[in-house]
Chain A
Amino acid sequence: MGGGWLNGVKRDFTKEEALEEYLFFLADDALILGQQLSKWCSAGPVLEQDIAIINTALDHIGRARLLYQHLAEIKGGATTEDSLAYFRDHMDFRNALLVEQPNGHWGDSIVRSFFIDTFNFYLYDALRNCTYAPIAEIAEKSIKEIAYHAQWSAEWVVRLGDGTEESHGKVQKSIDDLWMWAGELFESAPVFEVLDPSFVAFPTLKSAWLNKVDEVLQMATLARPEDDAWAQTGGRYGIHSAHLGYILAEMQSLPRTYPDATW
């Protein structure tokens, strides 16, 4: 592999470790995305969409809770959903880099959601058959809302792409700018090799995702960047962009200021 940015990251996992890592992939994606989307509250382009995006943030954070609660059960001791959310630092977060990218304008947030929502749709749909019951149950519980998110963000991509000249130009730029953060979603990771195949390996979702993206972008009269373009990497190993530190500093400030308090 040679030396590079990811030099020195852990690549050997026991089965137990791999299970936790996989759960953190799912949970941290959900929490960070929900946290980001929640910033649109009172700032959306129209009241109806404020409501829609808050609703989506609620879904993501709700799903994150289920996953953290299960992780807390596995870890035992004093671990709780909140200790996992509030008392881990950036190097322990396993979310994809895409979800920590800034909200930007409405088009940027929509494209970020469109990429991850479409990924989540194929992922959670397949995870309904996971042999590990807790994951299968959460997937079953969440698939309906995830399908709704994917539809909502795809509809907005079409609306912006096929709307005005201005919106077309803006959302095309969002796609071009965010593309290099999307490739990581389908990256192979050592944990997939340790877990049984019903823990969906993310690379297997790529072709379905690309087909859907192509279909939506075509409706939106938008162009897709090359699928073999260089992609950023690191999130699944705890190597993050500089944005995550600020997201966590804001989110974790209160429990860290008053570590003895319960809320």
Chain B
Amino acid sequence: MGTNISLEEKFQAYVDAENKVEPKDWMPEKYRKTLVRQISQHAHSEIIGMQPEANWITRAPSLRAKLILLAKVQDEAGHGLYLYSAAETLGTSRDQMIADLQSGKAKYSSIFNYPTPSWADMGTIGWLVDGAAIQNQVMLTRTSYGPYARAMVKICKEESFHQRQGYEVVMKLAQGTPEQKKMAQESLNRWWWPSLMMFGPSDDNSPNSEQSMRWKIKRKSNDTLRQEFIDKTVPQAHYLGLTIPDPDLKWNDERGSYDFGEINWDEFYNVIQGNGPCNKDRITHHVKAHEEGAWVREAALAYAEKEAKRKENRTSAA
């Protein structure tokens, strides 16, 4: 064994042998940075993603649907919390991550920059958006960073539950009155393409992907995941009697996959850069809640400090 093997090479060999990297292990600075960026972005997506769905909680059309939606959004909040903790193991505080979200330095999934004008969107989001998230996250249960992989195992179970519930909402609409059916189709028309965009730029335009694959943070390319998602989802739409809004969509016998049309990359990059219909609303809402909660957090902190002091006085007096 050469003694002049660099730490980087050792790290690569460790990862290549399918070992998990743990918080105290040495890791390349760029690996750490990539992970903080990716995990915090994932956490922010869970948190910002609460907003488009919270939009329908007060108007859910049955008490059962209201409970299911509330529970779902609560799950997403829990995912956010869990992922912030996983990112914190890499040495970045939650406060810092939230500051980066609010300043625009950190991103979140751009799908949540679209609005939810229709109840049907509660079904479509569960079906497509949680569905696309699962496609990505099942892969991440095998990611090389231990705390992230473990978080994903737990989260994936709940996401697949969300996906089934979302599909159930769409199914009720698709089998309902003509108005409901229209609602479902119109919602699918809007969300289909943004859902495909969730997998990110195509492989030839995804500069960071290759390094992430080498470090086994990622194990499948954007285009591969996108294709898997399409192949899985198209039959689900057909089963509901809904039409995928893509005239170029066609089964390709040779590839054993669906061919599909071109994504509007112009829209994709614009929404990422802040020009989506809801980018401003999402951050404004987050900042507003954060600022309005400042006095509450200060009070809780002040009270905790007073309590600690009182406890100390009690024990020193005893």
Contacts and interface: CB of A to CB of B under 8 A. Distances in A.
B63 A42 contact: no
Nearest to A45: B293
Interface stretch (A142-150, A159-167, A179-187, A205-213): A159-167
Interface stretch (A113-121, A126-134, A251-259): A251-259
Instruction: Please tell me the size bucket of the interface on B.
Output: 35 or more
Interface of A: 31, 35, 38-39, 41-48, 50-51, 54-55, 57-58, 61-62, 64-65, 68, 81-82, 85-86, 105-107, 158-160, 162-164, 166-167, 170, 250-251, 253-255, 258, 260-263
A51 B74 contact: yes
A263 B62 CA distance: 7
A40 to B, nearest CB: 9
A62 B77 CA distance: 20
A38 B77 CA distance: 14
A230 B63 CA distance: 35
Contacts of A43: 54, 285, 288-289, 292
B197 interface: no
Interface string B72-94: 01100110110010000000000
24 contacts: A41-B54, A42-B47, A42-B51, A44-B289, A45-B294, A47-B47, A51-B74, A54-B70, A58-B67, A58-B71, A58-B74, A61-B63, A86-B62, A160-B303, A162-B306, A163-B301, A167-B295, A250-B59, A251-B59, A254-B61, A258-B180, A260-B177, A261-B176, A262-B176
What's the dominant secondary structure at chain A's contact region?
helix
Contacts of B306: 162
A39 B66 CA distance: 12
Interface centre among A42, A57, A81 (most CB of B within 10 A): A42
Contact of A85 (B63, B176, B299, B300): B63
Contact of B54 (A42, A250, A251, A262): A42
Given A38-B57, A45-B296, A258-B177, A65 B63 contact: yes
Given A166-B295, A166-B298, A254 B303 contact: no
Given A41-B73, A158-B303, A47 B80 contact: yes
Contacts of A159: 299-300, 303
Given A47-B80, A58-B67, A106-B293, 18 more contacts: A41-B57, A42-B51, A44-B293, A45-B292, A51-B78, A51-B81, A54-B73, A64-B63, A162-B303, A164-B299, A166-B298, A250-B59, A253-B59, A254-B59, A261-B180, A263-B119, A263-B169, A263-B176
A261 B63 contact: no
